Copies of this chain bind each other. A is one copy, B any other.
Amino acid sequence: MARAAGVSQATVSYVLNDNPNARVSEQTRERVREAAARLGYVPDASARTLRTGRSGLVLVPLAPARTGRLFQDFLDRFGDELGRHGFTLVQYGERHLKGVPAAKSWAALRPAAVLVDVTRLTKAAVDLLTSSGTRVVIGLADKPSPLVPVVVLDHEAVGACAARHLLGGGRSRLGAVVPREEGIDLMGEARLRGVRQVAPGAERIDLAFSEEEAARVAARADLPEGIFAYNDEYAMLLISALQDAGVRVPDDVAVVGADDLPIATLMRPRLTSVHFDPTATPGELAALLEEIVRGEREAGPGAVVDLYRPRIVVRDSA
C-alpha cells in the first residue's frame, strides 16, 4: 500500500487518520487517498488494536433469557449510540460460560467495556477483565450490585406499578404469577416482590405455560380479586382459562399483563398492561460509558442506570 502510493508507510498512516500534528502536503495526501481507493484498502482492526492497546469494542455476551424483543430494541439503539461515540457494539456468543472462564474469553478481545448479566460475574472475573485493560464492566441486574455498576431492569418497580393500579381500582386481595420457566423465573420473583411492596399480603401463584395448569388455577374457589400475570403472554393464558371456567374478567378478577404487546389489544377484554420505554436510556448509557472510558468520570459498584421505565396502560382487563 505504501509502495503503491510511492510514499513511506508512516505517511500513509498520517493521511488516512487525518493526524492533526503531522504535516503532509495536500498533493501527497491526494496521492495516498487515490491509491487507497484504487487498491480497496481496508485497515486491519487487529493490527490497530495491537498497536493502540484499545479495541473500541463494547462486548455484550448475552444470556439466553435476555434476548427478548424489548431488550433487542434496546441493543439496537445502544449500538447506534455507541457508534456515534466511536465504539462498536458486539454481541458475542459464549452463552454458557460464567465467571473466570467467561472473563478470559471476553478479555481476549481487549474490549473497552463489557455489558453482561451480573449473575455471570464473580469478583475474580471482574478483576481479570479490569487488569487486562477493560475499563468498564457493567452488569445487568434487577438491583444494585456490590461488584460493579449495573443497568437495572427494575422488575420490582414493574410489579409495584401493576399492584398500585389494581389497588387503585378497588381490588384489595392481590396475586402475582411467577412463571415456572427456566430463565425468567427470577424476574418473576422480583416482580412478585414489587407487588408485595405495595400489597404486602399478595399471593404467589406459580404457573407453567400450559392450558392445563392455567385451568387448574382458574378453577380455584378463592381467587384473588386482582392478578398481575407477569407478562402479556401469561395474562392471555390466564384470562383464556378464567373465561373457560366462567369467571368474568375484569368483573370477578382483574388481570394486568406486562410488555404491552401489539396483540394485547386483541384480547377481549382488551389487556391492561405495564408498558416499558427503553428508548431514552441507550443514549444516556453510551454517553456515560464514554466518560468513564475517557477517565473523566469514575463509576464504582452501587451506581445504577434504570433501563426500563414502567408505566401502566389502562384498557379493559383491569
Contacts and interface: CB of A to CB of B under 8 A. Distances in A.
A110 B46 contact: yes
Copies of this chain present in the complex amount to: 2
A40 B131 contact: yes
Contacts of A132: 40, 42
Contacts of A69: 67, 69
A93 B286 CA distance: 14
A10 interface: no
Contacts of A72: 67, 72
Contact of A266 (B45, B128, B237): B237
A240 B211 contact: no
A83 B92 CA distance: 11
Given A44-B110, A55-B46, A83-B93, A236 B263 contact: yes
Contacts of A262: 209, 233
A9 to B, nearest CB: 15
Nearest to A40: B128
Nearest to A79: B93
Contact of A236 (B82, B108, B266): B266
Bin the interface of chain A by size: 35 or more
Interface string A260-277: 001101101000000000
Given A64-B76, A266-B236, A266-B237, A42 B93 contact: no
Interface in A26-75: 40, 42-47, 49-50, 55, 64, 67, 69, 72
Residue from the set A45, A96, A107, A211 with the largest chain B CB neighbour count within 10 Å: A45
Contacts of A108: 42-45
A95 interface: yes
B263 A233 contact: yes
A19 interface: no
Contacts of A284: none
Given A80-B93, A233-B263, A50 B42 contact: no
A88 interface: yes
Interface in A227-277: 233, 236-237, 240, 262-263, 265-266, 268
18 contacts: A40-B127, A40-B128, A40-B132, A42-B104, A42-B107, A42-B132, A45-B110, A46-B49, A46-B50, A46-B55, A64-B76, A67-B72, A83-B93, A91-B92, A233-B263, A236-B266, A237-B263, A263-B263
Q: List 10 tightest A-B contacts by C-beta distance, closest first.
A: A91-B91, A79-B93, A46-B49, A46-B46, A45-B108, A42-B107, A240-B266, A46-B50, A89-B93, A47-B50
